């Protein structure tokens, strides 16, 4: 068998989930979205940003987003 550098691609089917968060976390996420808009000049909703934020954090949750 050939030894490929690229591993088999994971399932890329999107999944939609619903969560309940605290008012404090909600404010922090909206603050981050505002900073994103100020930084890049493009508005993105919190719902659009969260998947990419989670990818940055990774499976161990070791990155903290400071606003």
Confidence grade of residue 64 (pLDDT, cut at 50, 70, 90): low
For residue 26, give the nearest of 40, 45, 54 by alpha carbon.
45
Q: Is the pTM of this model over 0.95?
A: no
pLDDT in tens, 13-57: 988 999 999 999 999 999 999 999 999 999 999 999 998 888 888
Q: Is the Cβ–Cβ distance between 65 and 29 less than 8 Å?
A: no
Q: How far is CA 13 from CA 1, 9, 10, 60, in A?
A: 28, 11, 9, 22
């Amino acid at each position: 068998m050939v030894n490929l550098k690229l591993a088999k691609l994971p399932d890329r089917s999107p999944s939609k989930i619903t969560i309940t968060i605290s008012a404090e976390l909600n404010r922090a996420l909206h603050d981050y979205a505002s900073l994103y808009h100020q930084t890049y000049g493009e508005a993105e909703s919190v719902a659009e940003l969260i998947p990419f934020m989670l990818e940055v954090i990774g499976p161990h949750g070791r990155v903290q987003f400071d606003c």
